[in-house]
Structure 1
Amino acid sequence: MSTSLKTIFLAIGAFIGLSVIAAIALLVFLDANAFKPRFEAAVSDVFGMEVKVGGRLGVDFFPNLRVTLEDVRIRNRGTEVAAARKARIGIDFLTLRHKRVRVEAIALEHPRVFIERDHDGTFNFEQSAAARGMLPDLDLAKISLSGGTFRYADKQSGRGFEADDCSLDVSRLQLTDRNRPGIMKNLSFTAEAACGAIRTRGYAASGLRFSVAGQRGVFDLKPVTMRVFDGSGSGSIRANFTGAVPLYHVRYSLSAFHIEAFLKHLAQQKVAEGPMDFSANLSMQGKTVNGLRQSAQGQISLRGKHLILNGRDLDRAFARYESSQNFNFVDVAALLLAGPAGLAVTKGYNFASNFQGSEGRSEIRTLVSDWKVERGVAQAQDVAMATKQNRVALKGRLDLVNERFDDVTVALIDTRGCVKAQQTIQGAFKQPVVEKPGAITSLTGPAVTLLKQVRHLFPGGVCEVFYAGSVASPK
């Protein structure tokens, strides 16, 4: 989420930059096209980037004084950073008598922003300290854009996203105190933003909308709403840039999303189906993805009822485990892990394919996956699910920083919450391993011998309770 938030601010900054270019045009000329080379050179010096106006540059006086730029492009180190098909700048005519320019309104048509972070962490828009110091103070009453597109690519992590059909309405934008380091610390504005579609490598969202209110480095985005996995998402974000390290507080809930939509990219067949609810309340600080993970703390929850798991009858498999000893609890655990770690956990083990081609189906009457996050480690608080006849529970930790399982145990439990059979998972998310008596077997297929089978010598005797959470035993 942090990467998305930062890039949103970068996009807004790029759109503002395109608008400032048009305002500077008035300082250089009034008879536009004859002075285009002078304009391009002046703006390039200010921004420390190559600026070109490929189309018409003109000044209109009716109904109000307005500067129009067509086909504006900004390049840095040989790469295009931003472009706009057209920019219209409204000017207060009276200020020209005093050789000053006061921008009243800015409208951008079909702006495009391309942000890229290379392998050493440098963004394609970064400039020298001298160029940043020349950024002029801004005091703009209104900025609007329509039909915008945004592309972000991070070569360090291989991640990125695209946003299309974006609109933005900004009011009372101020950028002051240039001697104070950091653009975000000196920026104030209110805004309404929306994007019709957002896509990552594996997922898509639609209908993104949010409001922003910020003053001198503290920004509140609320509400933030969108449609994800056929569910309705809503939340808020507070971003504080006043300190040496940015601080973020994220609250988010995704109601009634469809697990089949979440798992669609993992398998062609419908592995599971049914509605689920996800929520997160997290605080993070840092300048990098790894730094944000290391500082993450808060709560994460995934819950669902009356889910259908296709391809395997779990109750039948549990009933036969004593004789066959050929069942993999990790397949089941992956459903419980999808909440706190998402693809970080499941990408290394394609559990979805292990249910395809098998016979039967299972009803998961209740699924609860509640986690507490501290310093980038998710600790299971209440993690279990119940079928018609059985319960499976999970304990342990997920190291989200180093992407490793930390003593994760998945157990089939009886009515008292005591262990009937269990497996312990260790190792990296990409290459998890399951421990069993006398050996460690890598997860290379859909079937893994059970780690440990616990037999009670006396029915109803004393046992160590493994699970005492909210998921009740089937009757």
Structure 2
Amino acid sequence: MRKVLKGLLFAVAGLVLLLVLAAVILPMIVDPNDYKPLIAEQVQKATGREFSIGGDIELSVFPWIGAAIEGPIVLGNAEGFGPEPMARLDAVDVKVKLLPLLRKEVFMRTVVLRGPNINLAKNERGITNWDDLVERQGKAEPTPSPAPDTGDGQATAMPKVSLGGVALDNGQVAWKDKSTGLEAVVSDLNLNVGALTLDPGTVIPIEMTCSLRANQPEASADLRLQTRANVNQQAKRATLASTDIRLSQISAVLAEGQPHLRGSTEISGDFDVAWGPDWPASARCALLLIFPAALFQAMAWLQP
């Protein structure tokens, strides 16, 4: 028994030594920046858009395997929506813990996105600048295949996946609807999403602050949001508990000749959110990005 334990210890020590050596040697012999043209080419094939990484890519191997990418990272716009890029990012940092991968477990550190700038638009015909991406995604989605059998009649369990969170720093989302003339901007956007797992019942803390501005009505405000989200993907429902939404520095001109509204308001409570089965994930994401602009429409009902 002692020989077996001794052999296991030597095996583990050897594995750790190999990982440490890889952490030291790999960054010295592999320059990830050499692969930037290939990355751009693959993204362009997948999206049909121009893509570029302006800064350096730095790799890490141990104890976290990942990449820190300096921007500007730019994704071009859809045809007919002008030269302005659809998305621009100053930097991104993504890391996965190495040793749990050996146990088929995925533990990611908080994903950090710095300076994201997203431009969403709809033209006079009602076509958005993400419609082509949704169409490509629909064509690329494979038919789900049954989980592999382990030989004992049971399907292989899904690997455990955990994400430390998402941190978005100093972002901006702009929305231009040429069919209605509505223009809205969410600026100074800071978002912190807590740890995410695939386990049902996981409560996710969310905090967000931003400034809002729109032209229909002409209005501006500062938004602060705090909530605890519980998402049930199978039921396509989510519960937002202990939600606190505060709008301050409100300034709105509802109509020419009408009083100029100023003030603040607060909404607190628990909310249930549901989405339809026909909504693709990308459409739901876009809706969440546009949602703050809808608050301006609600300002028309605020009392001074």
TM-score (norm 1): 0.39
Q: Secondary structure at the match of 1:37?
A: helix
Structure 2 match to 1:160:
183
- Give the number of the structure whose alpha-carbon radius of gyration is greater: 1
Quick one: structure 1 residues 99 and 172, their matched pair in 2 at CA, closer, same or farther if it must change by over 3 Å?
A: closer
The one-letter amino acid paired with 1:116 is: A
Aligned residue type for 2:264: G
Which of 158, 164, 168 in structure 2 is aligned with 1:145? 168
| Partners of 1:170 and 1:189 within 8 A in 2 | no
1:161–1:200 Cα contact (<8 Å) kept:
yes
Shift of 1:46: 3.8
**What letter matches 1:36 in structure 2?**
K
Aligned to 2:75: 74
Give the equivalent residue in structure 2 for 1:223. 244
Residue of structure 2 aligned with 1:242, choices 246, 267, 276: 276
Equivalent residue of 1:121, what SS? coil
Distance in 2 (CA, whole Å) between partners of 1:99 and 1:76 is 38
Aligned-pair Cα RMSD in Å: 4.0
Counterpart CA distance in 1 for 2:62 and 2:183 is: 43
State the partner residue of 2:24: none
Alpha-carbon deviation of 1:49?
Answer: 3.5
User: How many positions carry a matched residue from both structures?
Assistant: 215
Q: Given the superposition, is the C-alpha separation of residues 189 and 88 from structure 1 closer, same or farther in structure 2, using an over 3 Å criterion?
A: farther
Give 1:103's aligned residue: 108
Structure 1 residues 117-196: aligned runs within 5 Å: 117-126=122-131, 127=133, 129-132=135-138, 134=140, 140-173=163-196, 190-196=204-210
Q: 1:172 to 1:46 in 2, by over 3 A?
A: farther
Work out the CA distance in 2 between the residues paired with 1:157 and 1:212: 34
Q: CA deviation at 1:205?
A: 0.7
**SS at structure 2 position matched to 1:113:** strand
CA distance in 1, matches of 2:237, 2:104: 34
Question: Which has a greater percent of strand?
Answer: 1
Q: Which deviations, in whole Å up to 9, do the C-alpha atoms of 1:400-446 show, x marking residues without a partner?
A: xxxxxxxxxxxxxxxxxxxxxxxxxxxxxxxxxxxxxxxxxxxxxxx
* Equivalent-residue separation in structure 2 for 1:174 and 1:46 (angstroms): 27
- Structure having the larger proportion of residues in helix: 2
Match of 2:220 among 184, 187, 204: 204
**What is the one-letter code of the residue matched to 1:57?**
I
User: Residues of 2 paired with 1:43 and 1:134: CA distance?
Assistant: 13
In the other structure, the counterpart of 1:91 is: 96
Render the CA deviation track for 1:145-199: whole Å, top value 9, x for unaligned: 1111111112222113112221112235479xxxxxxxxxxxx983523233111
Cα distance between partner residues in 2 of 1:174 and 1:64: 18
1:15-71 CA distances to partner (integer Å, 9 max, x unpaired)?
A: xxxxxxxxxxxxxx9631011111222233344543211111121357744411111
Deviation at 1:76, TM superposition (A): 3.4
Q: Which has the higher relative contact order, 1 or 2, with Cα contacts under 8 A spaced 6 or more apart?
A: 2
* Aligned residue type for 1:218: R
The answer to whether the Cα contact below 8 Å between 2:106 and 2:162 also exists between their aligned partners in 1 is no
Counterpart residue type for residue 125 of structure 2: D
Distance in 2 (CA, whole Å) between partners of 1:30 and 1:190 is 37
Structure 1: stretches of 5+ with no match in the other structure:
1-28, 176-187, 247-288, 293-299, 303-337, 343-366, 368-475
1:218–1:242 CA contact under 8 A, matched in 2: no
Report the identity percentage: 19
